[in-house]
Structure 1
Amino acid sequence: MTVTRFAPSPTGRLHVGNLRTALFNYLISRNAGGTFILRLDDTDPERSTRAFADGIQRDLEWLGLTWDRLERQSERLDRYAAAADELRAKDRFYEAFETPTELDLKRKKQLNMGQPPVYDRAALKLSEEEKDRLRAERGQGVWRFKLKQERIEWTDGILGDLSIDAASVSDPVLIRQDGQVLYTIASVVDDTDMGVTHVVRGSDHVTNTATQIQIMEALGFAPPSFAHHSLLTGPQGEALSKRLGTLALADLREAGVEPMALLSHMARLGSSQPIELCSDLDELAEGFDLDHFGAAPTKFDVNDLYPITARYLHTLPLEQVADQVAEIGVPEDLAETFWTVARANITTRNDIAGWWHLFRDGTTPVVDEEDREFVAEAFALLPDPPYTAETWGAWTGAVKEATGRKGKGLFMPLRKAVTGLERGPEMSDVMPLLQKKPAL
């Protein structure tokens, strides 16, 4: 059975980059009738918060990305400790005591000599007496996994055949000096224990994947299938990381972006397939295939989400917005007519109330100076509401006969005077919704 997971750290809000990873894993599992796990990487007690964890779940629920299981790494610390003991027993785990400053000086020296800035494994040469002295002076050290210095190869689900020379990679730290278990080993243990078969994540994890494959093999685990999607950039190719604070899913929700618009966009962005609005997640999963994605950085422009949101809203029947329409005060007998007019002229749900405000209270007429007398005369010919679909034709006919105006010179000034807009819905649809007679 196909099992995928999304493993965010509850140390901040989800943004569009996180969503790409979550969505790919979700669609793979749903397409195969498998299991999708939400796993909270909360081993950092200082930065992980309940508020962020709740926010992650709220964002996923808003999008409809429901999970089959919820796991928390903070509840599995004993399991990671057992894995660490096993690595020690196999002589693949060692304690190192360098300070950050000492490591930085080593890297600078290596770079000056034209060498790769890889940890030199000096800790492996320490005697037990030297280790005891360093512990007395500095406290506990960090624990590093001892890589086999050979090529690590796998076939990536997006990038194809990959090969990384482990000699060019530092032995990864798996446990910090304060005892905190890091993602690298926790993820290995969890993916194996939870039967994860496919892992999709960003291409910035490629080196991480190479080291995790060796850790899995050292623990006697078979690695899952890995795939690394391209990273998102801004619309001009700039690093998106500087703007992620404004691209949180909660902010997009507040701005009125519709879930299916966002999901439809993200499921095709960076692929060879055109972006198309899907009606639901089942339709999205049916057409999803990692083979369509490439390695090139993928440009993301938040403004592209709004035309898709508008297209989605244009398809909605009244039943799906009835509560919101009622909440802004639209009478039940006008709700169907109101929504038919409004939905074709909004970009987000946030625009709905503005249209009812216009119909209920009127607006400040937009009248060019040369049309002022004409509009005043026209308004005098307009009876008091209620109006019908025939009111516009009857009124403009009477105004034409009284003033001699016709065509654009007749209709445009009246549209602007009634709605304050140069374009919008058909005026024969607008008139029945007006609750007050327009006036200068």
Structure 2
Amino acid sequence: MSVVTRFAPSPTGFLHIGGARTALFSYLYAKRFGGKFLLRIEDTDRERSTQEAVDAIFEGMAWLGLKSDFDEVYQTQRFDRYKEVVEQMMAAGHAYYCYASKEELDAMRTEQMARKEKPRYDGRWRPETGKTLPPPPAGVQPVVRFKNPLEGQVVLKDLIKGEIVFDNKELDDLIIARGDGTPTYNFCVVVDDWDMGITHVIRGDDHVNNTPRQINILKALGAQVPQYAHVSMILGADGAKLSKRHGALGVTEYRAMGFLPEALLNYLVRLGWSHGDQELFTREEMIEKFDFDHVSASPARFDMEKAYWVNHQYLKSADPAVVVPEFDWHLRRIGVDPAAGPDLAAVIEQQRERCRTLVEMAEKSRFLYAELDAYNEKDAAKHLTADGATVLDELAAQLEALPAWTAAALHEAVNGFAAGKGLGLGKVAQPIRVAVVGMAISPPIDQTLFLLGRERTLARLRAAVAHVRGA
């Protein structure tokens, strides 16, 4: 049987980091076994679901490259199917109408708690042999409840948590359709997983208590029960519940922070899963090596500094061509036109050692694509002096005469100029940097000038001279 997994978010908020990890685990497991991965939008909560959240989920999944192998699925488009299955269950005696009012149920729970009992539906409208039910009250729209088994146990062999046993007597009769006929979450999930042939349900461990109820409904329908893997929650680095200060952000916010999608996936896969001491994985390696034997049942801890470290490793080692689309996106985001400057891949090659994120890279590369509007005051005071202006003026004349504007020719010219003047390279390179970059930090000076180009380099050198001399 081919593996089919699913990621089924509710569009009541953006795709957060915990959901992204669940999606990744589901995707990797399916791909490892040559199976298929499904994205399903569980939007039955009409009051809280928004189109904005739906769009953010699709945007986040597309950016991460977690592509569904099926067309888009929305639960709200399947209401006729849910109604059909409810009717089948009623006809088979697996479900029944319950006419208990909200007031009755509230009073029932109050009495149970007063007796120190677990609050649960008491089965007052459940049909049983020899039991006489009162006539349905007029004007009441009944809910439909699943007739949960009263005896026995549900044994869940969780792929992460191991065996968990639930007594059926602790599970009350779940509402599967509301009084207005709309289906409930737990019921929709069961029908969807059944119809879509889901073989492995991988989700957060906040769903563990839903699982025995869903298994009982599946058995009542005569459906194949999938295997379950409940992934532990993610905590902050300090062990507290993950919050925005720890990194509990929407996936698209990580893009805005300058993360590469593959780097974020690499960091997420290591939140609770390990393969020896290996820290960095290609997507192909993740697919090849991922399993549940090495997923921890204990909560994982999110460490933003480690996430930045992973991102930097990717920036340093990735094929620049892979980074180009994201770098382009970040440059445009700060109002820079990438067409107005050097090749993006060449810039990435020079900047990636010193940049942990693409936000840093875009800001530090702005000078290559946009005109300088100011000098760093501290750096200008130190290097754009009268002596510095003399160096820049004479050097500009020599650079203008270069027959070829190559990094090698520029290296030779700058070093030769410094040697000819009896100056250390820093006495020449630093004034150049401030003049053409606006600050005393840049890639190697020959590469900086080569990427900037002859025309801009000479213009900026002369502008710096004029700035010093007050011309």
TM-score range relative to shorter protein: 0.7 to 0.9
**How far apart are the structure 2 equivalents of 1:6 and 1:36?**
8
TM-score in terms of structure 1 length:
0.84
Local SS of the residue matching 2:258: coil
By how many angstroms is 1:27 displaced?
Answer: 0.9
By how many angstroms is 1:395 displaced?
Answer: 4.9
Cα distance change of structure 1 residues 374 and 116 upon mapping to structure 2, 3 Å threshold: same
**Pair 1:123-2:125 in alignment:** yes
Local SS of the residue matching 2:163: strand
By how many angstroms is 1:291 displaced?
Answer: 1.0
Local SS of the residue matching 1:390: helix
**How far apart are the structure 2 equivalents of 1:100 and 1:426?**
73
Could you tell me which residue of structure 2 aligns to residue 393 of structure 1? 415
Q: Aligned to 2:300, which of 275, 298, 304?
A: 298
**How far apart are the structure 2 equivalents of 1:250 and 1:272?**
25
**Pair 1:340-2:349 in alignment:** yes
Q: Aligned to 1:91, which of 93, 99, 105?
A: 93
Percent identity between matched residues is 33
**How far apart are the structure 1 equivalents of 2:425 and 2:412?**
18
Could you tell me which residue of structure 2 aligns to residue 180 of structure 1? 182
Q: Which amino acid aligns with 1:364?
A: Y
User: Which residues in structure 2 correspond to 1:22-171 (within 5 Å)?
Assistant: 22-70=23-71, 71-100=73-102, 103-104=105-106, 106-124=108-126, 129-133=134-138, 136=139, 139-149=140-150, 150-171=152-173
1:95–1:123 CA contact under 8 A, matched in 2: yes
Cα distance change of structure 1 residues 116 and 128 upon mapping to structure 2, 3 Å threshold: closer
Q: Which amino acid aligns with 2:90?
A: R
Q: Which amino acid aligns with 1:21?
A: T
Q: Which amino acid aligns with 2:350?
A: V
Could you tell me which residue of structure 1 aligns to residue 375 of structure 2? 364
By how many angstroms is 1:212 displaced?
Answer: 0.7
Q: Which amino acid aligns with 2:315?
A: L
By how many angstroms is 1:317 displaced?
Answer: 4.0
Q: Which amino acid aligns with 1:345?
A: R
User: Which residues in structure 2 correspond to 1:214-293 (within 5 Å)?
Assistant: 214-240=216-242, 247-273=249-275, 274=277, 276-279=279-282, 281-293=283-295
- 4+ residue runs over 6 A deviation: 241-245
Q: Which amino acid aligns with 2:62?
A: E
Cα distance change of structure 1 residues 130 and 285 upon mapping to structure 2, 3 Å threshold: same
**How far apart are the structure 1 equivalents of 2:255 and 2:359?**
11
Could you tell me which residue of structure 2 aligns to residue 328 of structure 1? 338
User: Which residues in structure 2 correspond to 1:185-200 (within 5 Å)?
Assistant: 185-200=187-202
**Pair 1:208-2:214 in alignment:** no
Structure 1: tracts of 5 or more residues without a match: none
Local SS of the residue matching 1:69: coil
By how many angstroms is 1:381 displaced?
Answer: 1.7
Q: Aligned to 2:444, which of 426, 429, 432?
A: 426
By how many angstroms is 1:113 displaced?
Answer: 3.2
**How far apart are the structure 2 equivalents of 1:420 and 1:293?**
49
By how many angstroms is 1:316 displaced?
Answer: 3.7
Cα distance change of structure 1 residues 272 and 318 upon mapping to structure 2, 3 Å threshold: closer
Superposed CA offset, 1:359-388 (max 9, x none) = 56455245479x848954134223225681
Superposed CA offset, 1:305-337 (max 9, x none) = 3332222222344434556389424545x6565
**How far apart are the structure 1 equivalents of 2:18 and 2:338?**
35
Could you tell me which residue of structure 2 aligns to residue 3 of structure 1? 4
Local SS of the residue matching 2:375: coil
Local SS of the residue matching 2:157: strand
Cα RMSD of the aligned pairs, angstroms, is 3.4
Q: Which amino acid aligns with 2:448?
A: V
**How far apart are the structure 2 equivalents of 1:82 and 1:75?**
14
**How far apart are the structure 2 equivalents of 1:429 and 1:329?**
19
Structure 2: tracts of 5 or more residues without a match: none
Cα distance change of structure 1 residues 81 and 379 upon mapping to structure 2, 3 Å threshold: same
Q: Which amino acid aligns with 2:77?
A: E
1:393–1:428 CA contact under 8 A, matched in 2: no
Local SS of the residue matching 1:389: helix
Cα distance change of structure 1 residues 99 and 267 upon mapping to structure 2, 3 Å threshold: farther
**How far apart are the structure 2 equivalents of 1:144 and 1:242?**
39
**How far apart are the structure 2 equivalents of 1:51 and 1:224?**
32
Cα distance change of structure 1 residues 103 and 132 upon mapping to structure 2, 3 Å threshold: closer
**How far apart are the structure 2 equivalents of 1:114 and 1:16?**
39
**How far apart are the structure 2 equivalents of 1:337 and 1:2?**
42
Moved more, 153-162 or 389-398: 389-398
2:379–2:440 CA contact under 8 A, matched in 1: no
Q: Which amino acid aligns with 1:429?
A: Q
2:97–2:142 CA contact under 8 A, matched in 1: yes
Q: Which amino acid aligns with 1:278?
A: F
Q: Which amino acid aligns with 1:380?
A: T
**Pair 1:350-2:368 in alignment:** no
**How far apart are the structure 2 equivalents of 1:328 and 1:94?**
64
Cα distance change of structure 1 residues 100 and 283 upon mapping to structure 2, 3 Å threshold: farther
**How far apart are the structure 2 equivalents of 1:38 and 1:52?**
14
**How far apart are the structure 2 equivalents of 1:56 and 1:424?**
38
Cα distance change of structure 1 residues 319 and 209 upon mapping to structure 2, 3 Å threshold: same
TM-score in terms of structure 2 length:
0.79
**How far apart are the structure 2 equivalents of 1:164 and 1:241?**
32
**How far apart are the structure 1 equivalents of 2:16 and 2:384?**
53
